[in-house]
């Protein structure tokens, strides 16, 4: 477990190598010097999502949402609060199905909001429907275990 993790920068998408033991020490990006974890979900378009999915050793918890979706709006602050709890063990990401329709189709997103957890580039769990912060945290931790 001493191998460094690959952490994709939420600002410039540079791939950083961070020892697992130092994840919690507020690591910064070697390229742009921004914080690698900001305690907030990162909004990604399709190309950026694919890069993070391919390169990140940190599990990605993705909120597939759309601006017209009321339950998605209701869950947004819950998801944001979950980011403060789950980082840096996970990277929380938001993908708009309006901006990335091909990706949503490829991922077979049939209802929104849908939460999906990816580890090592592969989906390991998903859950449809709006839910609260505590439920998001518990579900994600169980799914990533
Ligand atoms: Zn950066």
The token duo for 26 is 């507020």
Return the pLDDT at 3. 81
Distance from the CA of 36 to the center of ligand 1, in angstroms?
Answer: 7
pLDDT digits (tens, 9 = 90+) for 90-115: 999 999 999 999 999 999 999 999 99
Q: What is the DSSP letter of 100?
A: -
Distance from the CA of 56 to the center of ligand 1, in angstroms?
Answer: 14
Cα dihedral 102→38→116→141 (10° resolution): 170
Helices and strands in the chain: count of H runs, count of E runs: 4, 7
pLDDT digits (tens, 9 = 90+) for 15-72: 999 999 999 999 999 999 999 999 999 999 999 999 999 999 999 999 999 999 999 9
User: Is position 72 annotated as part of the catalytic site?
Assistant: yes
Distance from the CA of 12 to the center of ligand 1, in angstroms?
Answer: 4
Domains of the chain, each with CATH number or no CATH:
38-144 (3.40.30.10)
- Please say if the pLDDT value at position 1 is more than 80: no
* pTM exceeds cut of 0.75: yes
Distance from the CA of 37 to the center of ligand 1, in angstroms?
Answer: 11
User: Is position 29 annotated as part of the catalytic site?
Assistant: no
């Amino acid at each position: 477990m001493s191998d460094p993790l690959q952490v994709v920068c939420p600002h410039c998408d540079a791939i950083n190598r961070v020892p697992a033991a130092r994840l919690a020490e507020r690591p910064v990006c070697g390229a742009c010097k921004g914080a690698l974890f900001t305690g907030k979900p990162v909004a990604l378009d399709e190309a950026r999502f694919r890069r993070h999915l391919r390169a990140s050793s940190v599990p990605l918890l993705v909120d597939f949402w759309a601006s017209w979706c009321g339950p998605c709006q209701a869950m947004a602050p819950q998801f944001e609060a979950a980011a403060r709890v789950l980082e840096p063990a996970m990277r929380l990401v938001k993908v708009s199905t309006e901006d990335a329709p091909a990706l949503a189709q490829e991922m077979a997103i049939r209802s929104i909001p849908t939460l999906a957890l990816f580890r090592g580039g592969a989906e390991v769990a998903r859950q449809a429907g709006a839910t609260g912060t505590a439920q998001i945290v518990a579900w994600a931790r169980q799914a990533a275990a």
